[in-house]
Amino acid sequence: MQDDFPHESETFHEPETPQAHAPRTGLSRDPGTGPARDPGTGRPRPPRREFKARGSFVERCTGCNLPMLNCLCPYRVQARSYARVWLLTHSMEHFKPTNTGRLIQDVLPDTEVFTWYRTAPDERLLALLDDKRFAPFVVFPDDQPDYAERVVDIDAVTESRAAGRIPVYLLLDGTWRQARRIFRKSPYLDALPVLPLRTERLTRYRLRKPASSSHLCTAEVAAELLRQGGDEEAALALDDYFDAFNECYAASRRFEKIEAPTAAMRRLLTASGES
């Protein structure tokens, strides 16, 4: 059992250009540049300066945003799950090509993505939280006493499903510090049950350095929750897609072309009918 699981480590190796990463979020605002006006005050925002860093000139696939050397697109599959995943993503996380939250949306088409702003909650998220069809659980560790009465276990997910409601895993997508801030600074989350992830699983994520091997990235958290909640086929598909992403990105950093697909890649190719 682990005490906490930062969805992404606070240290990352490749803070590449916001322009390079254009996630398929369905958001009305551009997550790369943000809204022209501050959503909390309504005041105009100054334009962002162009951000240059190591890797900013890498030629990337417009479909998966990985370096063209090892494009992820051939391995993309979609799966269905009874439970849903909603991502409440810190605005800075959209800038990072190493973010794994977007992998969930690739595999699970019903995934919802919301950008977090402290003073301006997303109206669509608020509406969905009030929708009685759904039973949302905010995924967060049970390491503080002030919300202990809200903590539930995976059995609550099973019970909501048996009652005819759709369980939702609400993941706070950002560094561990950002996730804590989202949890503490979002009053509309205060009424939600808190679901800590309890697992012996160790991270396989290699693109950012975690503080501990028990700290899972966002895609790994989602896959493990899906597995524990009974959506095993979706969990396997997401796990394989995450492994393919991990391998493709890591090889591209070494400027190596993957010649032979891994076992996970072969399963994805078979599932997509391209084997």
Q: How many domains does the chain divide into?
A: 1
Would 17 be classed as within a structural domain? no
pTM of the model as a whole: 0.80
Would 253 be classed as within a structural domain? yes
Would 23 be classed as within a structural domain? no
Identity of the residue numbered 244? A
Would 6 be classed as within a structural domain? no
**pLDDT given at position 228:** 96
**Whether 66 contacts 22, CB under 8 Å:** no
Would 236 be classed as within a structural domain? yes
**pLDDT given at position 205:** 76
Would 200 be classed as within a structural domain? yes
The parent domain of residue 181 ranges over 59-67+77-271
**Whether 128 contacts 135, CB under 8 Å:** no
Give per-residue pLDDT as tens, 217-249.
Answer: 899 999 999 999 999 999 999 999 999 999 999
Would 54 be classed as within a structural domain? no
Average pLDDT for consecutive 10-residue bins of the chain (275 residues)? 40 38 44 54 55 62 92 96 97 85 96 94 96 97 93 97 97 92 96 93 70 76 96 97 94 94 96 71
**Whether 217 contacts 203, CB under 8 Å:** yes
Would 14 be classed as within a structural domain? no
